[in-house]
Structure 1
Amino acid sequence: MRASVGIVLVSHSPLLGAGVHELAEQLGGGSVALAVAAGTEDGELGTSAELIEAAVRQVDGGAGVVVVPDLGSSVLTARLVLDELAREELVLVDAPFVEGAVAAVVTASTGARLAEVVRAAQEAWQARKL
């Protein structure tokens, strides 16, 4: 059995990151390497390149890593980290935070390859609620 794609959730808020992590982990059956880089090192609102890099390294099992940011500077900080790591199997996705995270984790839990996990997260923009 090959390693699944790892997922990193990047949020400004430790509470938001923890909540989305809890939801995604349960829906993915706990079979996907999933980490959160949320807030700053001292637990305040913000983003941290160090926390993002540590989360990427934590979930990187060799099948690739999808990084799902919430907004604004989390996108910029995650992009900076991934540019520094310079590996094409580390992908920052443009996806809604909750829906994209859930789609990525559920798809990764099926053993899907990196491109499929990225596509599932991106397609979450099309998910209608009503």
Structure 2
Amino acid sequence: VIRRTFAIDNPWFRGSAELPLYHPDELLGAKMRALYQRKKGRDLYDLWHALRCAKVDPMRIMECFRRYMERDGAIPSRAEFEANLAGKLSDEAFLEDIRLLIPAAVDYDPASAAALVQDSLISKLPGDPWRGSGR
């Protein structure tokens, strides 16, 4: 947790407050857990967007993910996570979850997003790659 001071100074109000904020890598570690545990396409989109647009540390993201999953009782192997994501990419509900939330100007392709998340993050999990689905 990092702390930042936010201030407002306008004709209606003047003041400041120190707010606790999560480090982006910590948030993305939690987002990786969400991608694994639930069927929301927005989790894949958020990870894709952050990897493309923010300065993040993939190793630190995966360390945060590992800690979250350890607390949940099980850390998935690389193959388990890859199989999990492959199943979601063939699920219409997963793919439709985000469609209406993405700005029209954003060129988002779930398969490309999954490839980036796979290469940048999932590949850092222990174990062999998944060999299913024609691989």
User: Which is higher, the Rg of structure 1 or of structure 2?
Assistant: 2
Instruction: Give the helix-richer structure, 1 or 2.
Output: 2
The structure with higher relative contact order (CA 8 Å, sep 6+) is: 1
Q: TM-score, normalised by structure 2?
A: 0.27
